[in-house]
Structures are given as structure tokens and as C-alpha cells.
Amino acid sequence: MLAIERLSKQFGGVKAVQHVDLDVRQNEILGLIGPNGSGKSTIVNLVTGVFPPTEGRVRFKDGDITGWPPHRVLAAGVGRTFQSIRLFGGLTVWQNLWVAQNAQSEGGRGVLRRWLAVDRASMTKIEATLEFCRLLDKKDELASNLAFGDQRRLELARTLAAEPDLLLLDEPAAGMNAAEIEDLRERLLALKRRGKTIVLIEHHMELVMTVAERVAVLNFGQKIAEGRPAAVQDDERVREAYLGQRR
């Protein structure tokens, strides 16, 4: 579904990503892990058009989306979350989803008309997404008033509202407690059962290793390992670079 080919990004003299190749298969959960500063979020930003690559290509569903602006990447079917929560704090929970739902429609035209008269079909979809993310009872609360774990859920819900085929989740468990992480695990597996494809960037190893079919590991902007979770955990380079262990 997604193919990254020799993707590189250089910021001045810093090589943030160096010639990374990565394939994401349809309807799989791929874990992308590595130490802080290893290039994980940079890859997400390159795929979603936040940064143009210095070198390499990004292909999605057999089409070349290299360097596309974020709104075109989203319209093509690639959604993402962020490490730092980026909600519309002054809008309610359901309004956050409405904005995402309408971001691409008619090139932004007619938004005011739809805002003043939200149709029942749109609200039904929003409520179904909120129910899936266990936020339906909070739909009229301001996003800024939500507890941290609920804000993380809302980020996921807002991404789902745009109905992407591929989800790039950048540390969705950051700051969550054990119960919230377990709920996130259930949501991820449920999304896979619904046919979604997920790239999970995460430092919570237990979560990654229990939901991902494959795991890729970055270090200093380069891919150093890729494979089944158990094999990656046992890789000497991963132990040294990520886990800080030597045999």
C-alpha cells in the first residue's frame, strides 16, 4: 500500500533520514521504532508532505505522492496523528471531527453553509466514530476541557473522521496510563479488523510488540532492522542501539 524508496532528508548538515526503504502492506500494523532523534517522525512528515524529501520517492496505492502538500496526501487516503496533541481546543469534541470530515470537501467551499446546517448523515458518521473511540458521552465538551487520555482518543477519532485508508500514528500512547494503553491496543486491533492499514510509531514496546505483525527499527536516520517482532527484539543491533543492551 505504501512504498518508501531510498527516502532521505537533510536539514543543513544534519542527515535526519538516510536512504530508507520501507514497504507497508495492506491491512497490516507495522511498528516503527527507534531512539529519540532516529528519524521516525521525520519519515511521517516526509510521507504526509510536511517536508519535501532531499532524495527518494513515496508511493501510495501505486501512485507517486512524493512532495505532495498535506491536504492532497490526506485526500488521497493517508491520515496521521502527532506526537504533540493538536486539537482545536475552542471547539467541542464533535466539532473537531466535523472539521476533519469536511477538510477536503468541495476544496473548502461551502463550509460555512454546512457548518450552519450540519446534516444528519454527517452527524451519524461523527457519532459512530466517537462511539468507537469511547467519546460519545463527551461529544459536546470543549476539547480543551478533556482529560489527557481523552484528548489522545480525540486525536485518533479526528483522524478517522477523514476516512483514511492508511493511518500514521505518531506515539499515540505517549502520556497514557496502563488502562488507556490497553484500550488503545483494542482500538488498533479493531481498526485492523475493519480493514485499516496502520504504521505505529511508538516507544511503548509492549504495545508495539503485541499489535504489530512486523517491526522496522531506525537509528541515526537509517533502517537497521526489520522483521517479525520476536526476531527484531533478538537482533543484536537493536539491543545495542535501542534497548542499550549487549550480549
Predicted confidence (pLDDT) per residue in 10-66, tens digit: 999 899 999 999 999 999 999 999 998 999 999 999 999 999 999 999 999 989 999
What does the pLDDT average to over 147-162? Answer: 95
Confidence grade of residue 247 (pLDDT, cut at 50, 70, 90): very low
Q: Sort residue 109 into left (φ over 0), alpha (ψ -120 to 50) or beta.
A: beta
Predicted confidence (pLDDT) per residue in 190-228, tens digit: 999 999 999 999 999 999 999 999 999 999 999 999 999
pLDDT > 70? residue 116:
no
pLDDT score for 83 = 86
pTM: 0.91
CA-CA-CA-CA dihedral for 154, 160, 161, 162, to nearest 10: 130
What are the structural domains of the chain? 1-77+164-247 (3.40.50.300), 89-163 (no CATH)
